[in-house]
Structure 1
Amino acid sequence: MNVLNENMTEADVENVLLCFPHQPDSCPRAHRFLALKVPMYFLMLASILMTVFGNLLVIITISHFKQLHSPTNLIVLSLALVDCLLGCLVMPFSMVRWLERCWFLGDVFCKIHSSLDMTLSIVSILHLSLVSIDRYLAICEPLSYRMRVTNGTVAVCIAFIWLFSLTFSFGVVLSEVNITGLENLLMLNSCGGNCALIFNKQWGVIAALVAFFIPGTIMSSLYLKIFHVARKQAKVMSERATVRRTSCEMNVQSSEQRERKAAKTLGIVMGIFLLCWLPFFIATIIDPFLDFSTPVDVFDALVWFGYLNSTFNPLVYGFFYPRFQSAFKIIISKYVLHLRNASHLDTL
């Protein structure tokens, strides 16, 4: 949101690159050394490709194998679709905006991009919460799980998540309630080629609560409960094995392995989620109270940390589960590498 400094000399002004050189009110373009710019483009393009193709692999895998058609995997399928759309429709434009510090596509598409960015990020986070609810019911209430959680129920929940996220995001951006009271600041810093989604104090808190802290609290609470129940079940089986050690020793070892794997997976899920999104939403809340003093590059970097959650989702929810690992190997070997010896692999 910065414009040319009034104290700059004429020579400095002449050396400044502008987003739109023929417009007197153009924003200054970012001046980055080529040795830094090229690696940044390479890394960001790599993360975009990983996001798109990683989630596309999850979509193809679940769609191809009927054995994976379950309520849980329907959520994972929808999550992969959301993250794939984020990689296709949002991340490439955000990459150019960050590295060039210019928006070349006009004000209308700026609002659409900002709305889609909010929508897909919120939908992705809410899907993660839905996965945690599904896992909680499956592990902590297994007797009623199959009756309460069906493909139809999950589809309704997914539709509600989409409807809520679209309404909230487009409503906030198009109504401009997020910049109420910031008119003078925006007027002073307005220039051609700027596209920044900022929040006033009230909506910075509201957006962070709706998009992160409430879903994150739900996820953390449920995963802690799941971990507690898993440990309790393993302890019960261990006590039973003490009485019948010879016949149950293998079951106890298997239970302990499952407990360790579950704890490891849940820890990775929450660790990646918090690492990717927590810094951004903390900055979203405190930046308005600091008169928007956070450097633009820092804020954009935090946005990309959040995007990386969509890059890691197919790794966490796919590669950590044996059935997905087998399915991925079949898909890659048969349809990507065209290996003959994989032609008979049609089921898991």
Structure 2
Amino acid sequence: ISTMRSNVSQVEFQEDFYIPIPLDTHNITLLSPFLVPQDHLGHKGVFVSMAVFMCILFIVGTSINALTIVCTVKFKKLQSHLNYILVNLAVSNLLVSLTGSSTALCTFISRYFILGPFMCKAEGFLSTLGGMVSLWSLSVVAVERYLVICKPMSSFTFKNTHALIGCAVPWIFALIASLPPLFGWSRYIPEGLQCSCGPDWYTVNNKYNNESYVMFLFIFCFGFPFSVIVFCYSRLLFAVKAVAKVQEQSASTQQAEREVTKMVVVMVLGFLVCWLPYATFALWVVTHRGEIFDLRLATIPSCLSKASTIYNPIIYVLMNKMFCSCMIKLVFCGKNPFGVEEESSVSQSTHVSSVSSSQVSPS
């Protein structure tokens, strides 16, 4: 009877993780990522390197996103409805940094998920929630800039109500995407080097329907947002280039055209760096069931997505000269030793939209 109970507990415990190498059923817990260091997956130096990387992400990500929020509260000139979504992005990045990066730092130092199955599910859910909010916020930023600069609807005026809706939508969509694994559609388990947790996209399990959940995430949380971003920024780019062509003699218009082009390229590339590796790897695993792959490779896209807590604010906040100037003043107690101008990059691009609607609006 005691042997039967032991086997049952082992099978139940196995539900919380996935062992990437064949093991005897009776010894399934011997390499559990919740019980012992995962040295069979990599050298100790690999875990130390990942711990250092996560430490950098935690310190820099937490600092820069917290600073964004504090600056917006402190400086009234930043409290524009067009900046609401940037604060929303900072809050989501801060959530990922405080839950995902900090937890990963602790577990990589221990070389296994020392916090247990419950915290694995909690960390997986909160990191996924923050990541999805960040992802959808990038789409909202693209839509807002398209509406404000291209003016596709001449009678439409962007107001605080629209900005608040734009902040709420990412959280609603993120909850739709991140809650299902808590209720049986897929699950949150350790991934990669087994020191961080995320949705189960690499096991074949009819009980959890992992394949359908991965396809749902790929279409709803990557394909659709990316299509929105590409559409909005491409229309924005074409509209600004059309105005620049008409006003070839205007130096300010030509400069704005270059600024917008750089903005579009950087923002689209930033989105792809954040999410394309994760989405591609997960989709490949789902569509190539039975093929051998190194589970440790899952650590790379996971780290890139967590690193978005740093390069997202660099792209969307620090490239905004007004935000950058206010941050410098906050850090240096009201002084600006670098002489950064306070004109925002958004206002520069908006300068182009000051031309007549017929010239700017997409044909």
Q: TM-score, normalised by structure 1?
A: 0.77
Structure 1: segments with no counterpart, 5+ residues: 8-15, 21-25, 180-185, 187-191, 242-251
Structure 1 residue 142, shift from structure 2 partner: 7.9
Cα distance in 2 for residues equivalent to 1:99 and 1:217: 39
Find runs of 4+ consecutive structure 1 residues off by over 6 angstroms. Answer: none
Q: CA deviation at 1:34?
A: 4.5
Q: Does 1:312 align with 2:329?
A: no
Corresponding letter in the other structure for 2:172: L
CA offset at residue 286 of structure 1?
1.8
1:59-208 correspondence runs (5 A): 59-97=69-107, 102-141=112-151, 144=154, 148-170=157-179, 172-178=180-186, 197-199=199-201, 200-208=210-218
Does the 8 A contact of 1:318 with 1:324 survive in 2? yes
Match for 1:325: what amino acid?
C
Q: Pick which of 67-76 and 29-38 moved more.
A: 29-38
Give the equivalent residue in structure 2 for 1:285: 283
How many Å separate the matches in 1 of 2:149 and 2:216? 32
Q: 1:193: how far off?
A: 9.4
What corresponds to 2:266 in structure 1? 268
Shift of 1:163: 2.5
Q: Report if aligned partners of 1:54, 1:311 keep a CA contact under 8 Å in 2.
A: yes
Query: Deviation at 1:290?
Result: 2.7
Q: Cα–Cα, structure 1 residues 101 and 196, in superposed 2: closer, same or farther, change >3 Å?
A: farther
SS in structure 2 of the partner of residue 299 of structure 1? helix
Kindly indicate whether the alpha-carbon contact (under 8 Å) linking 1:51 and 1:310 is maintained by their aligned counterparts in 2. yes
Picking from 9, 30, 38, the partner of 2:39 is 30
SS of equivalent residue, structure 2 residue 299: helix
Q: Give 3-state SS (helix, strand or coil) of 1:133's partner.
A: helix
The one-letter code sitting in structure 2 at the alignment partner of 1:266 is V
Counterparts of 1:193 and 1:222 in 2: how far apart (Å)? 37
1:84-136 Cα offsets, whole Å, 9 max, x none, are 11100122223445675522223332222222122111110100000000000
Amino acid in structure 2 at the alignment position of 1:39 = S
Counterpart in the other structure of 2:230: 220
> Which amino acid counterpart does residue 175 of structure 1 have in structure 2?
F
Q: Is the 8 A contact 1:114 1:173 kept in 2?
A: no
Instruction: Give yes or no for contact 1:62–1:69 (8 Å, CA) kept in 2.
Output: yes
Match of 1:257 among 255, 258, 279: 255
Q: Is the 8 A contact 2:57 2:309 kept in 1?
A: no
Distance 1:88 1:160 in 2: 22
For residue 334 of structure 1, give the secondary structure of its aligned residue in structure 2. Answer: coil
User: d(CA) in 1 for partners of 2:299 and 2:129?
Assistant: 18
Identity score, percent: 23
**TM-score, structure 2 length as denominator?**
0.74
More helix per residue: 1 or 2?
Answer: 1
Q: Is the 8 A contact 1:44 1:95 kept in 2?
A: yes
1:56 and 2:93 matched: no
Q: CA deviation at 1:43?
A: 2.1
* Residue 50 to residue 294, structure 1, CA distance change in 2 (3 Å): farther
Write the deviation string for residues 227-249 of structure 1: whole angstroms up to 9, x where unpaired: 100100111112xx4xxxxxxxx
Distance 1:294 1:254, change over 3 A: same
The root-mean-square deviation of aligned C-alpha atoms, in Å, is 3.1
Which amino acid in 2 is paired with 1:280?
Answer: Y
Structure 1 235/29 Cα, relative in aligned 2: closer, same or farther at 3 Å?
A: same
Q: 1:28 and 1:307, CA in 2 relative to 1: closer, same or farther beyond 3 A?
A: closer
Structure 2 CA distance for aligned equivalents of residues 296 and 3 of structure 1: 7
Q: Secondary structure at the match of 2:199?
A: coil
Amino acid in structure 2 at the alignment position of 1:259: E
Residue identity matched to 2:282:
T
- Are 2:31 and 2:38, in contact at CA under 8 Å, matched by a contact in 1? yes
1:182: which partner in 2?
none
Report how many residues are paired: 304
Gaps of 5+ in 2: 1-17, 25-29, 202-209, 344-363
Aligned equivalents of 2:110, 2:46: Cα separation in 1: 12
